[in-house]
Every structure is written in structure tokens, then in C-alpha cells.
């Protein structure tokens, strides 16, 4: 084998094998939380005071559409994982209602997008963004 070819072989193999590398599944891997006050998508972690909060799923979104008149305002309820120093809790947080756990109170303060009358479709889970704050 020629000297130049022998020297290039490891680089060629590294490039070929690197292109075939398997990227591990992110499930179960902790992500870097978004900064406090940032809107978080489902399964996206955000800092809330000393806690990290991860919206898991929309349990209920019966809010009145923004361009309609309703007798009842409706509710937005989001199942949320709350992590503190040495503990983890999961709770259904309701928009605008404070929730206390382990001596800390947090609240779901917004959920976007708001429903629209006549839109002809429900909000898909990938579109949701939630904002939380420590109280």
C-alpha cells in the first residue's frame, strides 16, 4: 500500500463511520432549561425561580375563543413536572391558579395560542407554549 494512501485511510474511515454514527434517543435525557420567563413547549424545561418546570401534556383546553362571547371563560389545565433540589412532583396546573409544593408557589400564567372561533381546527400539541412564574 502506498504511503499516502495508508496515511489517508484513518481519515477516510473516520469520515465514513462518523456519517453512520447513531445519535442516542433524547428520551430521559435532561435538557438545559430555558431561561426564566421563556415560553416552553410541551416537554421543554424552563427555570421558574429555584425550580425547573416541564409541561407534559394538555389535560383540558376549554377556554373561550378570543373572538367569541362566552358565558364561561373555560380552563386550560396542563400536567406539569416540577423539579426541585432532591425532589420531583407532577401536578395539573390550571391557568391563573397558584399551586404550592415543597414550600414554593408557582403558577401557569399563559398558554398560547388561544383558541379562535371559526378556525376550523383544534390547536395541535406542537403549537402550544406555556409561561410559568414563581409567586
Q: If you classify domain 27-134 with CATH, what class do you get?
A: mainly beta
Residue 77 to residue 128: CA distance in whole angstroms: 12
State the DSSP H helix or E strand holding residue 106, giving kind and residue range, or none if neither.
strand 104-112
Q: Is residue 122 pLDDT above 70, yes or no?
A: yes
Q: Where are the domains of the chain?
A: 27-134
Q: Is residue 14 pLDDT above 80, yes or no?
A: no
Chain position carrying cell 400536567: 79
Point out the least confidently predicted range of 89-93, 115-119, 127-131: 115-119
Q: Are 16 and 8 in contact (CB under 8 A)?
A: no
**Residue 27 pLDDT:** 46
Q: Is residue 25 pLDDT above 80, yes or no?
A: no
Amino acid at each position: 500500500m502506498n504511503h499516502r494512501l495508508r496515511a489517508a485511510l484513518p481519515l477516510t474511515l473516520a469520515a465514513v463511520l462518523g456519517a453512520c454514527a447513531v445519535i442516542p434517543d433524547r428520551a430521559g435525557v435532561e435538557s438545559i432549561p430555558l431561561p426564566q420567563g421563556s415560553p416552553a413547549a410541551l416537554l421543554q424545561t424552563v427555570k421558574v425561580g429555584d425550580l425547573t418546570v416541564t409541561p407534559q401534556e394538555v389535560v383540558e383546553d376549554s377556554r373561550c375563543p378570543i373572538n367569541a362571547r362566552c358565558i364561561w371563560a373555560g380552563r386550560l389545565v396542563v400536567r406539569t413536572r416540577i423539579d426541585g433540589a432532591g425532589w420531583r412532583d407532577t401536578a395539573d396546573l390550571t391557568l391563573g391558579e397558584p399551586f404550592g409544593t415543597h414550600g414554593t408557589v408557582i403558577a401557569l400564567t399563559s398558554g398560547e395560542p388561544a383558541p379562535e372561533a371559526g378556525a376550523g381546527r383544534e390547536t395541535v400539541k406542537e403549537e402550544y407554549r406555556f409561561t410559568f412564574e414563581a409567586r
